[in-house]
Structure formats: C-alpha cells, structure tokens
Structure 1
Amino acid sequence: MPEPVAEPALNGLRLNLRIVSIVMFNFASYLTIGLPLAVLPGYVHDAMGFSAFWAGLIISLQYFATLLSRPHAGRYADVLGPKKIVVFGLFGCFLSGLGYLLADIADNWPMISLLLLGLGRVILGIGQSFAGTGSTLWGVGVVGSLHIGRVISWNGIVTYGAMAMGAPLGVLCYAWGGLQGLALTVMGVALLAVLLALPRPSVKANKGKPLPFRAVLGRVWLYGMALSLASAGFGVIATFITLFYDAKDWDGAAFALTLFSIAFVGTRLLFPNGINRLGGLNVAMICFGVEIIGLLLVGTAAMPWMAKIGVLLTGMGFSLVFPALGVVAVKAVPPQNQGAALATYTVFMDLSLGITGPLAGLVMTWAGVPVIYLVAAGLVAMALLLTWRLKKRPPSALPEAASSS
C-alpha cells in the first residue's frame, strides 16, 4: 500500500474532490468497457455473421482476463507504486481500441478480424484490472488509509456512472462512424486519461517485504467468501429481473434496474462515513439484512410495486457491502501487501458474478424465476452468519480485523 504524505486532516468536500481527482482514471477505464458493450455482440453476430456463442465469448474474454490479472495488478501496485500501474492499465485500454480499429480494417478476413477483436478484449480486461486496482490504491495513498472505505465507495460510484454513460454513447459512436468511430472514441478516452495521469505526483510504494500470494489469500478469503455470497443478490437482479417481469407479465423491468442503480449510488453518497463510524463488519451485517429483505420482497412479489421496493432495498443493501468488508480485508495484511489483498478480495466478486448467471439459470429452469431470488436471499443470509462469526471470533492471525470490527 502506498504511503500518504503527511498533511492536515482532510474532510468534507475537499476530501471528496481529492478522491475524485484520482478515481476519475478508473472512470475512464470503465468508460472504455461501457462504450463497446452494447455494440460488439451485435457486430460479431449480425455484421460478421458469427454465432451467438462467439458474440458472447468476445464479451466474456474481457471478464476472464480481468479475473486472472487482478492478483498481479495488486502485487505490482505494491511493488512499483499505483501511479505506474494506472498508466499501464490505461495504455492497455488504449490498445484495446487499437484492436477494434484493426479488426475493422481486416473486416474482409472474418477470422482475423474476430481474432483482433478478441485480442483487444483480453488487453482491455488486463488494462481495467490494473487501472481499477491502481486507482483505488493511489486514492488511498493520497488521502490516507483512514479513508479507504470512502475511496472504494467512490470507485464504485464512478464505475456505475461510466458503464451507464458508456453503453448509449457507444451506440451513438457506432451509428456515427461504425466500428472505426467506436474504436477511435475508446482510444481517445484512454489517451486523454493517460495524459492527465502522467503529470500528477506519485505516492511512495511501501518498501516492506511482500507476503506470498498464498499467505495473502489465507488472510482475506473469509471476507471474500462473504462478499461472493452477497454478490449473488446483485447478480440475479442484474441478469434476471427482465425475465422475472416477463414471467409475471408486468411492464417496468428497465425502471426497476434504474431504481437499483439509484439506490446503490445514493446509499454510498448518503453514508460516506458509515464504515468509519460503525466499523466494516457492523455495516456489512446491516447491509446484508436490508439486502435479504429486498430479495424476499422480489421473490414473493404479487404486485409490481412490491418488486420495485424489493429491488430498491437490494440496491441499498448491496451498496456498501464491498467497501465495508474490503476495509477489514485490506487491514488483515501488512501495509506493503494491501494492494495484493484488495485485488485478491475483488476476485471473489468477479467469480461470484461469473457463476451466478449460469447457476441461477439452472435453478430458474427447474423451479421458476421467483425462486432464484429466494435462493439468493438464502445465500446472503449465509454471508450474514459468516460475518457475524468473523465479528465474534476474528481469525487469530488477523489482529487488524478484530480492531476494525
């Protein structure tokens, strides 16, 4: 973890502006993800003539690359410092746009074009993991570890904002200039972010001896498990709420997703100091309770308004889970390993969101759509019990976790 320069305590607007000035680089990386998200599946399937399998694979390659590269991103951030990792990641985002551009140039050779698209997606996944992990650690290095929960929260806010802006903007770019126009936009966003990042001052990397990956994993995996169980609620809302509304013959699924996003972002903005005041584990348990109620309301909804209230509560509950548990997880290791700890902890959410879709789909086929929300509520209840156990009996090897709860 980078070491902040000693200075008077930050608070309020000045603190938030300092954080936003760093996490805007994560915003840029996620904007390069959102821009092609609504375009590439249709381009691969309709314009290039490949099957839906290949269209889905092109999108999934980025997520697999992000998942596999996250632990390396955290470790390199600990060793080299987060600024270098952010610039490296943003350069990867730029290269992904170059891959799209070359794919457009090679459109007369479909297999080569598809290969270039896939290569661009892999590079984007690696770039995002480095830019995202690095920007969090850079932000913590600038404002101090006391505010790590707020830094993580702001990172989530800019992530949602970038994805929400990116998809419709990408469609407009594609309508304006085809894949070439989209590629140039991605490259422009990434290049601008690199140019803004380069003149900013670095923060010092901690010079302590790093722990091996197995030791880091051993210290954070219980917090990661609680996160992965709670992430199932988010996964089934994001993936299946449209099918749920269709099965009920209701309108308004898109508005329900909007409610979830409003609740998610609004909760983070309304309670910026909740984790510092109550402790990460206490906040996580409160959030789990709210999320469980929301999922139960969705699963048992007989009227559209019940489902909408349930989705709203699920968004509120899930909002602070990641930063609340993340604060405790990164304090479970020495400062020189906190980048690796944050990246390893994040992998559990990546894995959860990756497997929730297909597993929930199997449950839905067997028992119907509403049941998946009841099952997700059960998984969040397991996360609540696990977190309660961690609070009552913190792992003996993790004194920091005990003091943070």
Structure 2
Amino acid sequence: MLEQARLKRVPPSVSKHGDSPVSPPDLQPLSESAVTFHIISTSFFTFICYLSIGLPLAVLPGYVNVDLGYSSVIAGLAISVQYLATMLSRPRAGRLADSVGPKTSVLYGLIGCGVSGAVLIVAALLMPIPWLSLVVLMLGRLVLGCAESLVGTGAIAWGIGRVGAQHTARMISWNGIATYGALAAGAPLGVVIVHAWGLSWVGVIIAVLSVLGYYLARRKQATAVIKGEHLSFKSVLRRVLPHGIGLALGSIGFGSIATFITLFYASHHWSNAAFALTLFGSAFVGARLLFSGAIGRFGGFRVAVACFAIEALGLLLLGFSTASWVALCGAALTGFGFALVFPSLGVEAVRTVPQHNRGSALGTYSMFLDVALGITGPLAGLIATAFGYPEVFLFASLASLGGIALTILLYRRSEQAMGNMSVD
C-alpha cells in the first residue's frame, strides 16, 4: 500500500517523442495475454539489434583477414572492439534509460544500428584502400557496440515498466531468447548474403531492419519516467557487485564453449563440433521458454543455485568426455544450466536499487557478462596451453561451483535481512 501511494504521487513525465506515457503498471493490472504481448513485442527490438550484430559476425573476420590482407589478430580485434564498446557504455546506457526513458534509449540504439549498417556499406566500398576500409569498419563496430547497450538495457527496462516488476524474470528471459535467437539466425544468414551479393548488402539489410525497428518503436507507447534521486555509478555498482560476480562465474562456461569447443573436438579427432554449439543454444532457449516462471515461484537465488549445479555438471561431462556423444550431452546441459543464471540473479540485483534506478542496475549488472566473456578467451587459452583443452572446461566447472557458494551466501544474507525487517 505504501508503494502504491508513493507511485500515485509520481507525475508521469511527457515523452519527448510526443506520445503519452503509461502510468506505473502496478496501478493498471494487465491480463496474461497483454503481459505476454508487451514482453514479446518489446523483445522484438532486441531481436532486430542482435540480428544486426549477428549478420556480419561470421563474415567480418574473413573480410579483414583475406580481402583486406590483415593478420588474424587484427581480424579478431575487429570483432572484439564491439564488445569493448558495449562493456564501457553499459552504465551510461542504463542511466540514460532511467533519466529520459527506456523508449528513448531503444530509439537511440536502433539509430546506432542503422548507422553501423551504413558505415559497413562504406567500408565495403573502400576495400581497394585496405587501411581506410579497416578504420571505417572499426568505427562502425564501436557504434554498434554502443547501440547494443542502449537497446539491450532499454528494452528490458521498457518491458518491465510496461508489465510490472513482478514480471522482471519473464522480461529478462525473453530478451535473452531474442538475443541468442537473432545471433543464431544472423550468422549463417550473413554468410549466405555475402556469397550471393557481397558485404555491402549486409550493411543495406542492417540499415533497413533498423529503420523498420525504429518505426515500430516510435509507435509503441512509452512508460513514465519515475522521478527520484539517481544513484551514482559507484553506488549502483556496490549494490549489484555480488550478483554481477555470480553472473561472471556462470558466463565463463559459455565463453569457454564458444571459444574452444571446435579445438577441443579437433584434439579428439571428432567431427560436428558445430552441433555441440547448436545443442548448447537449443537447450538454452528451451530452458528459458519452459522454466522462466520458476524464478517467480521459487525465487532468484534458489533457481540460480540449481542452474549453477546443472552447468557445472555439463562442463564436467565435457572435460572428462571420451566420446563425442558425451561431449554433446555436456554442451546441452551447460546451455540448459546457463540459461537462467542471468535472469535469476538479475531479478535479485534489480531489487537492490530503487525503482527509478532500475535501468542503471540492469546496465551495470549486464556489464559483468561482457567482462567475463572478454577475459575468458585469453585466460582459457593460457590453461589450454599449459594443461590441455579438457582442463578449460574443468576450470569453467569450478567457476560454476564458485557461483553456487556465492549464491548461497547471498541467499542467506537476504533471508537474514528479511528476518531483521520483520522483527523491526
């Protein structure tokens, strides 16, 4: 009741894009079908953003290495520079969603996706001048990285603001489905487009998709910007830090599989390494579709402990596998376990800040995923060089076990805090 009274005193701000924002969802209960519609329709903008990321993902390394003639290190840098931009811009994207509204954040991000597509066209046309083409390409990747932060964080905050905080887990889960579904569809589609028409057409399609997304986002109703004191980045970071560390520990398994599963299979003289990635992704999406409601029923911490345990088991199977089918089972279990790590801990992370700092919390929390994926590659590479590829997955399983211990500590601390509040 106190929370509802507080919300009633908050005047909804006027959207800068001319539409009237809806009032806080707690005062306007929605039907189940309306909740599902708002969640999926908002996640669609994430799908467009990550389709823009996925389309050039499989073709840019070859373009830089073969067509422009640069080393594989530079080719890898052309991909990783986007993730660097994403990591650095996450906190700012969250603050923007809190201050001017998540709809505006998504619109800015879709503009950035469109600009990256246009820049990719220019880079392809400049192929006769390799150094200039590379510079333009890198600039486009930086823009795309910032756009990823704006859309990814803004879409989640927009969806939560429309359907209510009680549906946070579902919103985060569907946003993840849109993310990984778009990457899975975009990479092979980009290869087909390049083979048929050339790299510049990838840029054309990205630009067209972004314009379509921008048009649809403009038509969708904004949510009210909730007034209140915005916490500093340092304050938000301090609150979500333990949850972010848990996310990072769980993400190491994903990073290890994405980076080294092909080499692991080659070291055993097995074929169909790509099928292991397919099973990982399929199990990931399946778990989010089937079990996202478990977070609301059992709580984020309990679900996170179960997910870490399943992920650790899958990684152990991978590390000790002596047959390809065992490795496939391990990859599937890892994907199934990792699927709900982000939303289960994310729900608890968002609860540590006031409602008007939700975007900042999501942006800061998501940053730990980027950090984990950034350090997993070189760290796992050192382990593989010193011990072998199986040890990479054994190391990742230890990280998941560490996630279990951390989550149990967080759960006990939360229960103790609730007990103290009830006594007071």
TM-score (norm 2): 0.91
Structure 2 equivalent of residue 91 of structure 1: 111
State the distance in 1 between where 2:130 and 2:321 align.
47
State the distance in 1 between where 2:388 and 2:195 align.
38
State the distance in 1 between where 2:129 and 2:174 align.
43
> Is 1:220 aligned to residue 240 of structure 2?
yes
Q: Give how far 1:71 is off.
A: 0.3
Please tell me whether the aligned partners of residues 67 and 127 of structure 2 are also in contact (alpha carbons under 8 angstroms). no
Structure 2 residue corresponding to 1:184, chosen from 194, 197, 204: 204
Structure 2 residue corresponding to 1:143, chosen from 144, 163, 169: 163
Letter paired with 1:294: G
SS at the partner of 1:219?
A: helix
Structure 2 residue corresponding to 1:260, chosen from 280, 305, 309: 280
Please tell me whether the aligned partners of residues 332 and 399 of structure 1 are also in contact (alpha carbons under 8 angstroms). no
Deviation larger for 52-61 or 333-342: 52-61
Letter paired with 1:305: W
Kindly, what percent of the aligned residue pairs are identical? 49
Please tell me whether the aligned partners of residues 10 and 143 of structure 1 are also in contact (alpha carbons under 8 angstroms). no
The 5-angstrom pairing of residues 244-393 of structure 1 reads: 244-393=264-413
Q: Give how far 1:399 is off.
A: 6.2
SS at the partner of 2:414?
A: coil
Q: Deviations over 1:327-354 (max 9, x none)?
A: 0001101111111011101111110011
State the distance in 1 between where 2:412 and 2:322 align.
38
Q: Give how far 1:78 is off.
A: 0.3
Q: Give how far 1:43 is off.
A: 1.0
Q: Give how far 1:105 is off.
A: 2.7
The alignment covers a number of residue pairs equal to 400
State the distance in 1 between where 2:229 and 2:410 align.
27
State the distance in 2 between where 1:312 and 1:66 align.
28
Structure 2 equivalent of residue 112 of structure 1: 132
State the distance in 1 between where 2:30 and 2:119 align.
44
Runs of 4+ displaced beyond 3 Å: none
State the distance in 2 between where 1:150 and 1:7 align.
18
Letter paired with 1:383: G
Structure 1 equivalent of residue 83 of structure 2: 63
The 5-angstrom pairing of residues 17-28 of structure 1 reads: 17-28=37-48
SS at the partner of 2:119?
A: helix
State the distance in 2 between where 1:305 and 1:47 align.
37
> Is 1:39 aligned to residue 59 of structure 2?
yes
State the distance in 2 between where 1:7 and 1:333 align.
23
Q: Give how far 1:320 is off.
A: 0.3
Q: Give how far 1:4 is off.
A: 2.8
State the distance in 2 between where 1:390 and 1:253 align.
37
Q: Deviations over 1:138-179 (max 9, x none)?
A: 111111110000000000101111001111111122123212
Letter paired with 2:278: T
Please tell me whether the aligned partners of residues 288 and 384 of structure 1 are also in contact (alpha carbons under 8 angstroms). yes
SS at the partner of 2:25?
A: coil
> Is 1:173 aligned to residue 193 of structure 2?
yes
Please tell me whether the aligned partners of residues 308 and 404 of structure 2 are also in contact (alpha carbons under 8 angstroms). yes
Q: Give how far 1:38 is off.
A: 1.1
Letter paired with 1:368: G
Stretches of structure 2 lacking an aligned partner (at least 5 in a row):
1-6, 8-22
Q: Deviations over 1:221-272 (max 9, x none)?
A: 0010111011111111121111111111122211111111111000111113
State the distance in 2 between where 1:112 and 1:148 align.
44
SS at the partner of 1:256?
A: helix
CA RMSD of aligned residues (A): 1.8
Please tell me whether the aligned partners of residues 4 and 204 of structure 1 are also in contact (alpha carbons under 8 angstroms). no
> Is 1:156 aligned to residue 179 of structure 2?
no
Structure 2 equivalent of residue 4 of structure 1: 25
State the distance in 1 between where 2:269 and 2:69 align.
33
Cα 1:90–1:31 shift into 2, 3 Å? same
State the distance in 1 between where 2:338 and 2:284 align.
7
Please tell me whether the aligned partners of residues 227 and 321 of structure 1 are also in contact (alpha carbons under 8 angstroms). yes
Q: Give how far 1:73 is off.
A: 0.3
State the distance in 2 between where 1:99 and 1:127 align.
14
Structure 2 residue corresponding to 1:52, chosen from 72, 78, 96: 72
State the distance in 1 between where 2:199 and 2:268 align.
38
Letter paired with 1:68: L
Deviation larger for 35-44 or 147-156: 35-44
Deviation larger for 187-196 or 97-106: 97-106
State the distance in 2 between where 1:180 and 1:399 align.
56
State the distance in 2 between where 1:78 and 1:229 align.
28
Please tell me whether the aligned partners of residues 292 and 340 of structure 2 are also in contact (alpha carbons under 8 angstroms). no
Structure 1 equivalent of residue 12 of structure 2: none
State the distance in 2 between where 1:329 and 1:301 align.
35
Cα 1:44–1:323 shift into 2, 3 Å? same
Q: Give how far 1:35 is off.
A: 0.6
Letter paired with 2:230: P
> Is 1:129 aligned to residue 146 of structure 2?
no
Q: Deviations over 1:3-25 (max 9, x none)?
A: 337323432x4432221111100
Q: Deviations over 1:66-117 (max 9, x none)?
A: 0100000000100000000000000000000111111223233222211111
SS at the partner of 1:393?
A: helix
TM-score (norm 1): 0.95
